[in-house]
Amino acid sequence: MPSSFHKRIIIIGATSGIGRALAEHYAKTGCRVGISGRREYLLAAIHEHFPNHIVTECFDVQGSDNIQHMQSLIEKTGGMDILIYNAGFGDPSQTLDWHIEKTTYETNVKGFLEIVHFAFNFFVQQGHGQIAATSSVAANRGNGLAPAYSASKAFMSVYMEGLLMKAAKMKVNIAITDIQPGFIASKTAKNKVFWVTPVDKAVQQMAKGIDKKKFRVYISRRWRIIAWIMKRAPSFVWHKL
Name residue 201's amino acid. K
Q: How far apart are CA 43 and CA 216, in angstroms?
A: 29
Q: Is residue 169 part of a domain?
A: yes
Q: Rounded mean pLDDT of 62-86?
A: 97
Tally of domains in the chain: 1
Q: Is the pLDDT of residue 228 over 60?
A: yes
Q: Is residue 3 part of a domain?
A: no
Q: Is residue 52 part of a domain?
A: yes
Q: Is the pLDDT of residue 187 over 60?
A: no
Q: Rounded mean pLDDT of 44-66?
A: 96
Among the listed residues 65, 148, 168, 167, the one whose alpha carbon sits nearest the alpha carbon of residue 114: 65
Q: Is residue 2 part of a domain?
A: no
| Bridge partners, residue 58, by sequence | 37
User: How many CB atoms lie under 10 A from the CB of residue 6?
Assistant: 11
What is the pLDDT at residue 182?
A: 76
Q: Is residue 53 part of a domain?
A: yes
What is the pLDDT at residue 80?
A: 98
Q: Supply the pTM of this predicted model.
A: 0.91
What CATH number corresponds to the domain at position 75?
3.40.50.720
What is the pLDDT at residue 227?
A: 61
DSSP 198: P
User: How many CB atoms lie under 10 A from the CB of residue 193?
Assistant: 7
Q: Is residue 233 part of a domain?
A: yes
Q: Is the pLDDT of residue 191 over 60?
A: no
Q: How far apart are CA 56 and CA 94, in angstroms?
A: 36
Residue 118 φ then ψ, to 5°? -60, -45
Q: How far apart are CA 145 and CA 27, in angstroms?
A: 37
Among the listed residues 186, 171, 181, the one whose alpha carbon sits nearest the alpha carbon of residue 206: 181
What is the pLDDT at residue 2?
A: 40
Q: Is residue 182 part of a domain?
A: yes
Q: Is residue 1 part of a domain?
A: no
Query: Could you list the residue range(s) of the whole structural domain that residue 24 is in?
Result: 8-238
Inter-residue contact 180 to 136 (CB < 8 Å): yes
pLDDT, tens digit, 9 for 90 and up, residues 114-169 = 999 999 999 999 999 999 999 988 888 888 899 999 999 999 999 999 999 999 99
Mean pLDDT lowest for which of 34-48, 58-72, 170-184?
170-184
Q: Is the pLDDT of residue 222 over 90?
A: no
Q: Rounded mean pLDDT of 214-239?
A: 78
Q: Is the pLDDT of residue 89 over 90?
A: yes
Q: What is the mean pLDDT of the chain?
A: 90
Report helix, strand or coil for 163: helix
Q: How far apart are CA 219 and CA 221, in angstroms?
A: 5
